[in-house]
Chain A
Amino acid sequence: MLRSVFLIPLLPLAGFVILLLSGRKLGKERAGWLGTLMVAASFVVTVVVFVGLFRLPTGARSYTQTWFTWISAGHLHVDMGLLVDPLSMTMAAFVTGVSALIHLYSIGYMRHDEDFPKFFVYLNLFVAAMLVLVLADNFLLLFLGWEGVGVCSYFLIGFWFERNSAASAAKKAMIFNRIGDAAFLIALFLIYQRTGSLQYHTVFAHLASIGSPSLVAIGLLLFAGAVGKSAQIPLYPWLADAMEGPTPVSALIHAATMVTAGVYLMCRINPILFRAPDAAHVVAIVGAATALLGATIACAQNDIKKILAYSTISQLGYMFLAAGIGAYDAAIFLMLTHAFYKALLFLGAGSVIHAMNDDQDIKTMGALARVMPITAVTFFIGWLSIGGVPVLSGFWSKGDVLLNGYGFSPALYVVGALTAVLTAYYLGRAYLLVFRGQQRWVEARKTSDAAGLHPHDPSWVMSLPLIVLGALSALGGLINLPIHPDLDFLDRWLTPVFGSHLLQHHWGVGSEWTFALIDAVLAVIGVGLAVAFWGRTSERPALEPAFLRRAWYIDWAYDRFIAHTSTEVAIETSSVVETKGIDGAVNGFAWLVRATGRRLRTVQTGYVRNYALGLTVGLVLILAYVLTRAS
């Protein structure tokens, strides 16, 4: 069973190749189904491997499959190898599962798009790259997948590249990721220099011989890579702009899977972070700060996808907070449940955007629950789940993070708790403005425009993923219930990977219940605030101050001080250094050669006697020299 692991990334890759070569010939419908089936098949294989791994005894749950030697140069030896362990299989299972649902949804969502087959080409390539990232058994192969998902993200953000905003958003994502990737590469060099290998097992076995400063450097550099990929402070603005891509892309890549790669990396390198607590603390603090920052910005956005984007940034911050304090299982638990409810929310937003003829402003919606019941109900579940209302999945996963946060430092807990309230609040605002209250989508548009607008629930290919993800968002907590030691399946499943590197903190049953109660109260406060403020009205300028709408002016500051300044420098360089310096040197040399030539040509008289005289004089001179030397 374990041997079939190679099929997991190869199936979507095969889908990519087939669609690339004959996507147009297959036609829209069949191209979409082929792509979906490949990912679904990959999910089935994942389940089979998962079961195979589950059957092994706890201590032996690790299996490496080496295809071939990828690079062999001097001492550097890198295999194309897949690692099957509880962590990688958990990731692979949710990546393939959620991807399959979003592929299915895309068949409906992208139906009217000209480039339908191309969309699935990219989507399949993305899934293949993500699976390589997750299943790699060494850092370099992980980096291959890492760059693969990055480039697919670039293609898909810029999918509608005719729009200027989409093209520049794609570039922005690429550039922000490059900054992180540079740090990642330096970390790889350091790891190789210190351990002589890039294989996880070998590297982790050599950690004891590496000095503490190097370990901290490696940890921080890898974290810098994760910051780029997972949109943490300071490299987060690209994720909000990435919403220019089609909504299924936002759901799949910029919410559920790719952006969690950074969290996965932090969990994967848990032995390094365990030995470099300073680096781990930075991870936790940056995560907590990002969680709060994202949540505050999300409170004042009017674009439904921007709200979800900042929400994703905030939730990723939670995951880094958990990983940084050593609660890796809580991070993975939150990643799983987040994948369910954030994919759900994005797909729900997609179906709303479809119904509103590609309008994304929640201020011009309202009262859609009556005409779109399935979308409304599933979005409602998503809201309550992310808000942490008992007993939905978000309640358990967020509670797990907060509990561990308190065990580490009460300050982190306070930030996390505040973010939890804001989370329930801002998504409540989005839900209420879109689905409840006054109907505003006729008034907000010109009458001729609104006449053709008949919002309705989407077809089954789009509704089914909503329903499945809704059920998962509601019940996802079942995989890791903390209420009884026998029910925390995920924690026990992941034990072989994290083991003693986990944050050790034992709570009495009583205090666990107290924390659960506080979490529930926080969620209810958030929900209550949303209902109180946004239940009836859609305009409350006091709650949407400009500095929140403009995202604390951070994006503006980047633009003003970095993008603008470097553009100035580039212009200056092209007009002064280029023309005067570089062109000057080239032209000056040419002038020198020509001037010398003009003077020297007078020597060439054309008279044979002059040349003969020259020869003679030369001969005499040489003779004179030889003779004087001889004497």
Chain B
Amino acid sequence: MTVEASWYLTLAAVLFTIGAIGLLVRRNVLVMFMCVELMLNAANLTFVTFARRLNDIAGQTAVFFVLVVAAAEVVVGLGIIVSIYRRRPGATADDVHGLKG
């Protein structure tokens, strides 16, 4: 029995929506960060699905790029988050609004 491509796509959409809603409603910076990762991987899942479906290696290649960029992003993002916590333990995202116009 083969799993239909639409299942994968549905899973990806669900994951993406969870990520997006999480990003919008949560105030914990670390959780928001994980939500972003969730959205990235939802996108990766659609890439892989379509690569399989269309028999095109380009989708899987794109996933590698996303993974590499995401790894770099994790380094920078976690660095920032750690430095924020160091200055203000228990800070939420709303406490960091220095760029207010």
Contacts and interface: CB of A to CB of B under 8 A. Distances in A.
Contacts of A602: 101
A603 B99 CA distance: 11
A613 B98 CA distance: 18
Interface string B19-45: 010011101000010000000000000
B100 A606 contact: yes
Contact of B99 (A600, A604, A616): A604
A608 B32 contact: yes
Contact of B97 (A601, A607, A616): A607
Contacts of A75: none
Given A616-B20, A616-B24, A609 B94 contact: yes
A607 B93 contact: yes
Contact of A609 (B93, B98, B101): B93
Contacts of B97: 605-607
A167 to B, nearest CB: 58
Contacts of A603: 101
A612 interface: yes
Give the one of A602, A609, A616 with max B CB within 10 A.
Answer: A609
B96 interface: yes
B30 to A, nearest CB: 13
Contacts, number: 33
A78 to B, nearest CB: 63
Nearest to B25: A609
Interface in A595-621: 600-609, 612-613, 616
Contacts of B20: 616
B100 A609 contact: no
B23 A607 contact: no
A606 B94 CA distance: 8
B50 to A, nearest CB: 16
Nearest to A598: B101
Contacts of A601: 101
A483 to B, nearest CB: 101
A604 B23 contact: no
A606 B93 contact: no
Interface string B39-78: 0000000000000000000000000000000000000000
B87 to A, nearest CB: 16
B94 A607 contact: yes
Give the one of A601, A602, A607, A608 with max B CB within 10 A.
Answer: A608
A605 B100 contact: yes
Interface in A572-631: 600-609, 612-613, 616
A600 B101 CA distance: 9
A113 to B, nearest CB: 70
Interface string A334-369: 000000000000000000000000000000000000
A606 B101 CA distance: 7
Contact of B96 (A600, A608, A612, A616): A608
A291 B96 CA distance: 91
Nearest to B98: A606
Contacts of B100: 604-606
A337 B23 CA distance: 103
Contacts of B32: 608
B93 to A, nearest CB: 5
8 contacts: A600-B101, A603-B101, A604-B100, A607-B93, A608-B96, A609-B23, A609-B25, A612-B24
**Chain A to chain B: the 3 pairs with minimum beta-carbon distance, closest first:** A606-B97, A604-B101, A606-B100
Interface of B: 20, 23-25, 27, 32, 93-94, 96-101
